[in-house]
A and B are shown apart, each in its own frame.
Chain A
Amino acid sequence: MALQRIFGFSTQPLPFSVAQASQTENHIGQFYTVPASHIHTLFPHGLPLRYQQQIKTFNEACVMIRQPALEVISYLKQTDYNKPALRYIFYGTNGSGKTMSLCHTIHFCYTQGWLVLHIPDAHRWVKNCKELLQSSFNSARFDQPLQATEWLRNFRITNESFLTKIKTKHRYVWTKREFTEEGSLLGELVDQGISRVKSSSDVVGAVMKELRLQSGQSDAAFRLVVAVDGVNALWGRSTIKKEDKTAVDPDELTLIHNARKLMKNDWNGGAIITTLSQTGSLYSPKLSYRPQELLGQVKRGFDCMDPFIPVSVPNYSEKEFESCYLYYIDRHWLQHPQSHTEEGKKELIFLSNRNPWMLDKICAFL
């Protein structure tokens, strides 16, 4: 585990290093740096867009330690991995830090050596699909080759080390001449999917199935964390249209169908961490943020995820706001002379209502 530099606020002027695994409640509000190598492997996709720009600007990735992420990490430390996978859902208003909490938790799992199956934004799979193929495996379903290949590529980058170790337990036949034997490496399966774009959605399904089956076994070399951002997309509506202009039900998409199977807790040896997101969601009211509102009572989402542990992600507390404000000042991000005064700080609090996204937007350049 690499040691990371901690960025404290004014009561602790000197930065000191705390290992990722030993972050406790005392560190709430402080920042810790994620090493650049981790960013490239773990987060080829998955970080919010504005945060990626911030990383490029500041040349470092500092994540604030906040209570929701710490809570889930503490549960992860306590769980018994012989039991079925527990499901956690981060929920909160727009821009309150759910995706960042998810990334923080995934980073913890990564540093512990787990296999990370990260679906960066499930909403992207139910809208703006340029190519829709009819699935060869099940003719009632539809494939999305572009999204599937993109995801497989990123999955390969993240879990490079595991691909050479895990072996498949089943035999998969792709076309008349191509098949993957039982016992071949997972890496080969993934390469197959990336090179043969047509069958990539089915490869995604196969990968998910393999990992699910193998993770709980006693001889498994890994623990699996399934992280989905925007899990309410799996049970929502989609804007993709079939050729006869009728809407496609998410259930008819292979990727969504397989992801839903992952969400069930019928496998052991890992955890399922998800967030709800209203921002990218389709046909949901703007102010809804609670689990039932977004997962849908009628649309089976809540019943599928039940029992889960809902974790609320609120706006910044006073301490966290202080910390973020001082971080921006330290990075010379707040250039305006008035922003360094008490007045300016009060103005920032008022304008952003301590909402992290809003604060970022206000402090950004025009």
Chain B
Amino acid sequence: MASYSTKAFLILGRINISRSRLQNATNRATYVSVLSMNSPTGNRASCRYQVGVPRTEKMPVDQDWTAVYPSAAPFRPNAVPLPVRMGYPIKGGVAPDKKANLELIKIPNFLHLTPAAIKKHCEALKPFCTEWPLALDTDAKCDEHFPIKVQTTHFVSAGPSLRNPSARIVHLKVKLSSLNLDDHARKKMIKLVGSRYCKKTDILTITTDSCPLRKQNYDYAMYLLTVLYHESWKIEGWEAEKTVADMEEYSWENSPSQRNLLDTLTRMKVVEEEGGEEVRQQLLGQAEVQEYKDSVTRLKNEGENEDTLLQYKEAVKKVLKL
């Protein structure tokens, strides 16, 4: 049992302020203090507030936890049977324990969302759901039949207004491989959307939030997708002016590297210039030249690392016959 030194219980009653000052004495009487129990001369009527056994000691192991924490509630040390400690360790010791620990009370806890509780929520929601179609049992099948994924967030809150402006945002994700795009269209699409395309996962994400309603944003996103698709298939006149700097990947044909190599090889073989085109074709057809071409393309497209540089070195040595 806890021993008392001096404990003051503050009981605030509903004090009517409209009373006159003569009643001040009664106001003071609303404070009830319990003096030390050890003193035999207890002046006041001793209202013993016995602190009972904490609830944790009476909890069976197989209890229904959802009854203890049915909804979001602050941390109650006497209701949580876990020996948690939190806070900065006192000198030469450990973190303070859970009794009267403000740190534990301040933080959000999810004691009301244990797996058992979630199961109950799911069971409660089941009557309102429809069956999952049996034919869609793998992710791949879902992607195949439903390539466009739309993500929206609905908010429920009790407050002065039920609306939440963040509820209008719509994310539309689609994999470019599921769209019917040829090489030119794909490159043009990627250039048009810019940073909305992720190269690693091949997913185009369109996020719309410019309209006030979710339905409007959804329609806008679908419209954008349609327009992008059709525009990327069109070939404009000015696209013929595409320069080397605009190219997405490095191609070895007609690059300075190819010119240099052919130059060097011609000078090495001391071949005459007359059969220009055939000689060129013949040189290009050699296996070493193909290897060199692969290594340079890899170097430029993948970036440099020890691997690619080594491959380039070997290819150069073979081509120049070292």
Question: Chain A residues in contact with chain B, CB under 8 A?
Answer: 75, 78-79, 83-84, 86, 265-266, 268, 290-293, 297-298, 300, 303-304, 306-312
Closest residue to B315 on the A side, CB-wise?
A307
Q: How far is the CA of A303 from the CA of B296 in the complex (A)?
A: 11
Name B292's contact: one of A83, A307, A309 (CB within 8 Å): A307
CB-defined contacts of B104 to chain A, threshold 8 Å: none
Interface digits, B15-46 against A, CB 8 Å rule (1 contact, 0 not)?
00000000000000000000000000000000
CB-defined contacts of B231 to chain A, threshold 8 Å: none
The residue in A78, A306, A310 that gathers the most chain B C-beta atoms within 10 A of its C-beta is A306
Give the distance to chain A from B144, nearest Cβ to Cβ, in Å. Answer: 40
Closest 5 CB pairs of A and B: A303-B256, A290-B304, A307-B316, A83-B268, A306-B257
B243 within 8 Å of A (CB atoms): no
Name B316's contact: one of A290, A297, A300, A309 (CB within 8 Å): A309
Check if A306 sits within 8 Å of B256, measured CB to CB. yes
Q: How far is the CA of A79 from the CA of B320 in the complex (A)?
A: 10
Pairs across A and B, CB under 8 Å, 10 listed: A83-B267, A86-B322, A291-B309, A293-B304, A303-B255, A306-B260, A307-B260, A307-B320, A309-B317, A311-B313
Give the distance to chain A from B222, nearest Cβ to Cβ, in Å. Answer: 40
Give the distance to chain B from A234, nearest Cβ to Cβ, in Å. Answer: 16
Give the distance to chain A from B207, nearest Cβ to Cβ, in Å. Answer: 33
Name B319's contact: one of A78, A268, A298, A307 (CB within 8 Å): A307
B306 within 8 Å of A (CB atoms): yes
Give the distance to chain B from A273, nearest Cβ to Cβ, in Å. Answer: 14
Interface digits, B295-314 against A, CB 8 Å rule (1 contact, 0 not)?
01001100111100100110
CB-defined contacts of B299 to chain A, threshold 8 Å: 292
CB-defined contacts of A268 to chain B, threshold 8 Å: 267
CB-defined contacts of B309 to chain A, threshold 8 Å: 290-291, 310, 312
Q: How far is the CA of A298 from the CA of B247 in the complex (A)?
A: 13
Q: How far is the CA of A78 from the CA of B268 in the complex (A)?
A: 15
Q: How far is the CA of A183 from the CA of B214 in the complex (A)?
A: 87
Closest residue to B312 on the A side, CB-wise?
A310
**A78-B322, A292-B299 given as contacts; is B260 within 8 A of A303 (CB)?**
yes
CB-defined contacts of B317 to chain A, threshold 8 Å: 309
Check if A312 sits within 8 Å of B312, measured CB to CB. no
Give the distance to chain B from A3, nearest Cβ to Cβ, in Å. Answer: 29
CB-defined contacts of B268 to chain A, threshold 8 Å: 83-84
Q: How far is the CA of A311 from the CA of B322 in the complex (A)?
A: 14
Residues 180-225 of B contacting A (Cβ, < 8 Å): none
Check if B296 sits within 8 Å of A306, measured CB to CB. yes
CB-defined contacts of B300 to chain A, threshold 8 Å: 292, 297
CB-defined contacts of B117 to chain A, threshold 8 Å: none
Closest residue to A84 on the B side, CB-wise?
B267
Give the distance to chain A from B77, nearest Cβ to Cβ, in Å. Answer: 50
Q: How far is the CA of A291 from the CA of B296 in the complex (A)?
A: 13
Q: How far is the CA of A290 from the CA of B304 in the complex (A)?
A: 7
The residue in A78, A292, A293 that gathers the most chain B C-beta atoms within 10 A of its C-beta is A292
B150 within 8 Å of A (CB atoms): no
CB-defined contacts of A292 to chain B, threshold 8 Å: 299-300, 303-304
B152 within 8 Å of A (CB atoms): no
Give the distance to chain B from A79, nearest Cβ to Cβ, in Å. Answer: 7
Q: How far is the CA of A265 from the CA of B296 in the complex (A)?
A: 18
Give the distance to chain B from A310, nearest Cβ to Cβ, in Å. Answer: 5
B264 within 8 Å of A (CB atoms): yes
Check if A266 sits within 8 Å of B267, measured CB to CB. yes
Give the distance to chain A from B162, nearest Cβ to Cβ, in Å. Answer: 53
